[in-house]
């Protein structure tokens, strides 16, 4: 019996990449490097104290060289054998977390504890990450304050609550709030929120508007005195509620 000749497999001589990093614990697997990002291999080299070459840094915006080929993703630490270096396991966990989103040191400590890392190992790895600038609670706190104020319109009290939830130390949180916020800026943001909300409340009674606006500002952490001052001023200027 004649057999049809088999077509050679074009991938047979090409080494295959390792498996993609699992997306467990809410962590995304590897994705293509975009402008302004550093890939996982670059993060690993920074954490190991190695100097980045031009090709390894090509994933950063503004670099002229083409991106270097992505290295195979590290194994999921949970699947490594018992003889694996615990420091390397902890480093992989931390780098996966940082590749997904900025984190505070406390958030990373909690993740390492959840994954069974010894406290001493976690502390050594996170100390090293701080030395190379990959973990920086002060920068993280300032970023969080800016994003939450601009995106959600949170006031000082609401922002302080968010910083506590993320595990930012109290002193660092106070410094971030003092750096990023001002009394004038907080009032201006409250006025913007009230003006936007009023556009959806046409035809409602003044007392109803006041109650709903005050509730909105309170949920965002605005002090009652400031909130009612802004609301009263806005309603006095509203054509529906012009006073004699």
pLDDT digits (tens, 9 = 90+) for 85-111: 999 999 999 999 999 999 999 999 999
pLDDT score recorded for residue 83:
72
Give, as one character, the DSSP assignment of residue 53: P
Q: Tokens representing 6?
A: 């088999």
Full-model pTM: 0.61
From the number of C-beta atoms within 10 Å of its C-beta (0-12, 13-18, 19+), residue 2 rates as exposed
Statement: residue 238 has pLDDT above 60 = yes
pLDDT score recorded for residue 141:
96
Residue with tokens 């003889």: 83
pLDDT score recorded for residue 20:
42
**What's the pLDDT band for 242 if we cut at 50, 70, 90?**
low
pLDDT score recorded for residue 150:
87
Burial 140-151 (b: 16+ CB within 10 A, else e): bbbebbeebbee
29-87 residue pLDDT tens = 444 444 344 455 656 665 555 444 333 333 333 344 445 555 445 555 545 556 789 99
Question: What ranges do the domains of the chain cover?
Answer: 35-131, 137-180, 183-241
């Amino acid at each position: 019996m004649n057999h049809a000749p088999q077509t050679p497999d074009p991938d047979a001589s090409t080494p295959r990449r390792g498996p993609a990093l699992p997306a467990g614990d809410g962590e995304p697997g590897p994705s293509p490097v975009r402008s302004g990002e550093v890939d996982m291999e670059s993060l690993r080299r920074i954490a190991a104290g190695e100097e980045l070459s031009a090709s390894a840094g090509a994933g950063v915006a503004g670099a002229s060289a083409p991106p270097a080929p992505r290295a195979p993703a590290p194994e999921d630490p949970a699947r490594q054998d018992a003889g694996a270096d615990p420091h390397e396991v902890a480093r992989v966990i931390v780098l996966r977390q940082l590749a997904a989103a900025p984190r505070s040191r406390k958030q990373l400590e909690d993740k390492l504890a959840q994954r069974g890392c010894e406290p001493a190992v976690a502390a050594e790895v996170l100390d090293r990450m701080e030395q190379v600038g990959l973990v920086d609670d002060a920068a993280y706190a300032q970023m969080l304050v800016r994003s939450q104020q601009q995106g959600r319109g949170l006031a000082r009290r609401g922002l302080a609550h968010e910083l506590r939830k993320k595990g930012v130390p109290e002193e660092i949180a106070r410094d971030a709030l003092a750096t990023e916020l001002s009394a004038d800026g907080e009032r201006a943001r409250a006025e913007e929120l009230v003006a936007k909300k009023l556009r959806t409340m046409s035809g409602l009674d003044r007392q109803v508007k006041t109650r709903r606006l005050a509730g909105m500002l309170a949920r965002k952490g605005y002090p009652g005195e400031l909130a009612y001052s802004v609301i009263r001023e806005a309603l006095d200027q509203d054509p529906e509620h012009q006073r004699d």
